[in-house]
Chains A and B, each alone.
Chain A
Amino acid sequence: MKEVKYQDIVNTVAKLCIDSNCLIGDDIINAFQNGLKVEESPTGKDILKQLIENAEISRNEMIPACQDTGVAVVFLQVGSGVKVVGGELFDAINAGVAKGYKDGYLRKSIVSDPLRRKNTGDNTPAFIHTEIVPGDSLKITVAPKGGGSENMSEIKMLTPAAGWEGIKKFVVDRVMRSKANPCPPIIVGVGIGGNFEKVAYLAKKALLRDIGTVHPDPFYQEKEKELLEEINKTGIGPQGFGGRVTALAVFIEAYPCHIASMPTAVNINCHAARHKTAVL
């Protein structure tokens, strides 16, 4: 058994919350640079330049790139040989989120009840997804997610007859209806398969990939490329002002499913695509 200390988890999670919000990934900045080369709209180009400058200011001064520092979505891979000492694992995650959002001057955007809507004041609870894996390490990924892009996400219980064309239509249509709301250029996470609750998780998990990485399965590599091309034909463009660069990437996660089903979920992420990982 490997012992991992409660306080180390708290400190790590706090740092991941701050770093993910302030240190926009190189993959995103590269994608903005590449976008500048293909964007035809002058306003669109100007937006991409502003986003590059924004990411630089944010990195240099350690201030969040976007004011909506989101829900703290936390993915855990807990090795079966890991034992947390000094407290409970989930308590440590929540304490880390509270600390990170306070110390990093991040916005607290969580209400304790969907209808009574009182702010919890420290951005907890975190939304935690846990996997038990072989080994003796604890892998923690913090992926803050803003409301504007999350609200543009959707699940559809497609049936096998809809086929790839049905999936494509649903995804492109979802992006079309989102227009400027998720702050394009966007990153599109697509979950296909599983069942109702599983497919939403797949779409979210897809968003953890870095731009430029390719799907391990060549079949889905092609599908991702096709979807990206279709989405970038919509003309929505940066911020919805019209242009070529509507999405920076499309990531698909597929999973086995029932003979009668083909659930599909679209989780839209904005260009403020934030995720940082640490291993304890």
Chain B
Amino acid sequence: MKKITTPLTEAAVKDLKAGDSVLITGIIYTGRDAAHKRLTDVLKANQPLPVDLKGQIIYYVGPAPAKPGYPIGPAGPTTSERMDPYTPALLAYGMKGMIGKGNRTPNVIEALKKYTGVYFAAVGGAAALIAKRIKKCETVAYDDLGPEAVMKLTVEDFPVVVVNDCYGNDLYEEGMKKYRKV
């Protein structure tokens, strides 16, 4: 089990290999389809981002409502694929990591190599457990998007697994091959 803190340095990313189990502590940001579209539009127009994503991690999540007394509701990962069209531009800008579930397109895997980034998966459906590792949650951009707004999460020992590292390895491919019996 490796432990890392955000923001991520180039060296920290290089130290992560597909298959590593990792605990993340620090700040991570949330973002889904609508927020990604806006963030990349801002970059295209050469405007400043509403939150600086240099070295940061984006978590693809749409939490359930928080019960009174809880910082956040159940918050497991959503399917990453929908963010693929926007991801290379954010990596080029300096974002270092993403957390989601499911395969990424070859474009994203290439961009991870080119810009030294990492793609983690959190356990889909382990939303109650994941929420326990989120200590604080505040909306920091695109309030009007409601549950799809960009939120800043303070996390402690947030459990993930490295799927795509900056060397082009892919845990989904390699893991399946290793255990395949047909």
Q: Which A residues touch B74, using CB under 8 A?
A: 58, 63-67
| The stretch of B6-14, B40-48, B63-71, B106-114 that contacts the partner chain | B63-71
CA distance in complex: A241, B179 (Å): 10
Chain A residues bordering chain B, tally (CB within 8 A): 42
A61 and B101 CA atoms in complex are apart in Å by: 25
Q: In the complex, what residues of B have CB within 8 A of residue A210's CB?
A: none
Q: B125–A106 contact, CB under 8 A?
A: no
Stretch in contact with the other chain, from B83-91, B136-144, B170-178:
B170-178
Taken residue by residue from 93 to 137, chain A's Cβ proximity to chain B (1 for < 8 Å, 0 otherwise) reads as 000000000000111000000000000000000000000000000
Given contacts A43-B19, A67-B75, A270-B125, contact A240 B67 (CB under 8 A): no
B123 near A57 (CB under 8 angstroms)? Answer: no
With beta carbons under 8 angstroms apart, the residue of B65, B73, B128, B161 that contacts A241 is: B161
Contact assessment for A63 and B131 in the assembled complex, using a CB-CB cutoff below 8 Å: yes
B121:A239 contact, CB within 8 angstroms: yes
B57 to chain A, nearest CB (A): 18
B129 located at the interface, meaning its Cβ lies under 8 Å from any Cβ of chain A in the complex: yes
Return chain B residues, CB-CB under 8 Å to A234: 176, 180, 182
Q: Is A195 an interface residue (CB 8 A)?
A: no
Report Cα–Cα, A243/B177, bound state, in Å: 9
B129–A241 touching, CB < 8 Å: no
Shortest distance from the beta carbon of A279 to any chain B beta carbon, whole Å? 28
Within 136-182 of B, Cβ neighbours of A (below 8 Å) are at 147, 159, 161, 163, 171-172, 174-182
B21 contacts which of A46, A57, A107, A183 (Cβ < 8 Å)?
A46
Interchain CB contact under 8 A, A43 and B161: yes
Q: A57-B129, A106-B64 are in contact. Are A230 and B172 (CB under 8 A)?
A: no
Contacts of A138 in B (CB 8 A): none
The answer to whether B161 and A67 touch across the interface, beta carbons within 8 angstroms, is: no
Question: Contacts A107-B62, A180-B102, A180-B172 given: A239-B123 contact, CB under 8 Å?
Answer: yes
In the assembled complex, which residues on chain B have CB atoms less than 8 Å from the CB atom of A271?
Answer: 125
Q: Is A148 an interface residue (CB 8 A)?
A: yes
Inter-subunit contact B62/A67 (CB<8 Å)? yes
Are A57 and B179 neighbours in the complex by a CB distance under 8 Å? no
- Give the chain A neighbours of B123 by CB distance below 8 A: 47, 50-51, 54, 183, 239
Contact with A along B79-102 (1 / 0, CB 8 A): 101000000000000000000011
Given known A-B contacts A63-B74, A243-B175, A148 and B124 have beta carbons under 8 A apart: yes
Q: Is the CB of B175 within 8 A of A107?
A: no
- Distance to closest chain B CB from A244 (angstroms): 6
Closest Cβ of chain A: how far from B62's Cβ, in Å? Answer: 7
Does B31 sit at the interface, judged by CB under 8 A?
Answer: no
A180 touches B127 (CB 8 A): no
Tell me which residues across on chain B come within 8 A of A244, comparing CB atoms: 179
Q: Which of the listed residues B62, B125, B175 has the most CB atoms from chain A within 10 Å of its own CB?
A: B125
B61 interface residue (CB < 8 Å to A): yes
Taking A43-B175, A148-B101 as given, write out 19 further A-B residue pairs in contact, using a Cβ cutoff of 8 Å, ordered by the A residue number.
A54-B125, A63-B73, A64-B64, A66-B125, A69-B64, A105-B64, A106-B64, A107-B64, A180-B102, A180-B121, A181-B81, A234-B176, A234-B182, A236-B176, A237-B175, A240-B175, A242-B175, A242-B176, A242-B177
* B interface residues with partner A (beta carbon < 8 Å): 19, 21, 61-67, 70, 73-76, 78-79, 81, 101-103, 121, 123-129, 131-132, 147, 159, 161, 163, 171-172, 174-182
